[in-house]
Structure 1
């Protein structure tokens, strides 16, 4: 193979490899909902009676967990981007097209776990 042909082939291969970087950020867009807030558990003060003092759980608050409905992230995927800025810009653009309604979040290095749940290394929430 001629050196010029080899140089062109190697240069083309390097350029092709550089252009095929995996996207790092996933945009999740929710057109009709706000991002759910993480609710703190509702802690109730216990009623302590003198007869309860010797019991091991006496004085411990009763915690009622608050479950919030999580958005359907799988069906909310709206694109894949190289940078967080690109992801946020696209999400804001989608909000503008939806007359300011909706919310979005960007996830970094997202993947499916063994239960087919989307997990990401990092989340950036962007409400309306």
Structure 2
């Protein structure tokens, strides 16, 4: 009985520690993303799906004071030794 309870407890802990796969980069008051922009300075959140990430970015643009902004979502982003980020892929719109 103890082993069953221990197994349930451990599995419940791992369910709560799932890493988000998508990172939102939001560029306030910028109509486009500059090639000189540093994504690590523009992180606005972490999301499980690209749809969640893109919807949040679009909402942030809509709610901004100027109504202008740019965003993109990076998949599986990691920091390297120099402090910059590398992402497997970037998306900036929903693909159906």
Which TM-score applies when normalising by structure 2? 0.82
Structure 2 Cα separation of the partners of residues 69 and 122 of structure 1: 16
Q: Does 1:111 align with 2:92?
A: no
Please report the RMSD computed on the Cα atoms of aligned residues, expressed in angstroms: 1.7
> How many residues of Structure 1 are paired with residues of Structure 2 in the alignment?
92
Q: Residue 89 of structure 2 aligns with which residue? A: 122
The Cα offsets for residues 51-77 of structure 1, whole Å up to 9 and x where unpaired, read as: xxxxxxxxxxxxxxxxx6422311100
After the TM superposition, which segments of 4 or more aligned residues of structure 1 sit over 3 Å from their partners?
A: none
User: Could you tell me how far 1:115 is from its partner in structure 2?
Assistant: 2.6
Q: Residue 49 of structure 2 aligns with which residue? A: 83
Structure 1 Cα separation of the partners of residues 41 and 21 of structure 2: 18
User: Could you tell me how far 1:28 is from its partner in structure 2?
Assistant: 0.3
The Cα offsets for residues 76-128 of structure 1, whole Å up to 9 and x where unpaired, read as: 000111110111111111112115310100000111223322110101125xx
Which TM-score applies when normalising by structure 1? 0.64
Matches within 5 A, 1:29-44: 29-36=26-33
Partner-residue secondary structure (3-state), 1:33: coil
